[in-house]
Amino acid sequence: MSNSHGAPPPPGDSDPVQQYGQQQYPPPNFPTQHLPAQDFPTQNFPVQPHQQQPQQQPPQQPHNNKNLIIVLGAVAAAVIVALIAVFVWVIPGFSQPQAQDNPVPLASTSGTASPEPADETSSPQGSPAPSENSADQMPAGSVPLPGGWDQLQGPANIPAADDTLFTRFVTGESSFAYLASWSSDGTFGITKDPVSGTPMQQKAEGTEERDGDGISTAFAFFAEAEEGKFGKEPAKVQAAIKEIEAKLKAIPAGDLPQHLVGHKCASDFVSSTPEIREFRRSEAVVVEFTCTNAGGDAIQAVNLFTVTPWGTPQMVGVSGHESYWSANPELLEKIGNSYRANRWKLAG
pLDDT digits (tens, 9 = 90+) for 289-331: 999 998 999 999 999 999 999 999 999 999 999 999 999 999 9
In a domain, 113, yes or no: no
Measured CA to CA, the distance from residue 167 to residue 130 in angstroms comes to 9
Asked if residue 75 and residue 140 are part of one domain, the reply reads: no
Share of the chain above pLDDT 70, in %: 64
pLDDT at 115 over 70: no
Where do the DSSP E strands lie in 98-188? 143-144, 166-170, 174-179, 183-184
Task: For residues 197 and 181, give the distance between their C-alpha atoms in angstroms, rounded to a whole number.
Answer: 32
Cα–Cα distance, 121 to 316 (Å, whole number)? 17
In angstroms, the CA 154 to CA 280 distance is 5
What CATH number does the domain containing 262 carry? 3.40.1000.10
| 3-state SS record for 210-265 | ECCCCCECEEEEEEECCCCCCCCCHHHHHHHHHHHHHHHHHCCCCCHHHHCECCCC
The answer on 219 and 71 residing in a single domain is: no
Pairwise pLDDT comparison (27 vs 167), residue with the higher score:
167
- Rounded distance, CA 304 to CA 283, Å? 9
Amino acid, res. 19: Q
1 occurs within a structural domain: no
Q: Are residues 225 and 292 in the same domain?
A: yes
Q: What is the pLDDT of residues 165-174, one digit of tens each?
A: 999 999 889 9
The pTM score is 0.63
Please indicate, yes or no, if residue 168 is contained in any of the structural domains: yes
Same domain, 198 and 262: yes
Q: 258-298: per-residue pLDDT in tens?
A: 899 999 899 999 999 999 999 999 999 999 999 999 899 99
Query: Are residues 130 and 82 part of one domain?
Result: no
Enclosing domain of residue 289: 120-345
- Residue 174 near residue 154, CB atoms below 8 Å: no
Say how many C-beta atoms besides its own lie within 10 A of residue 34's C-beta: 10
Which residue stretches of the chain are H helix?
Answer: 62-85, 91-95, 234-250, 322-327, 331-337
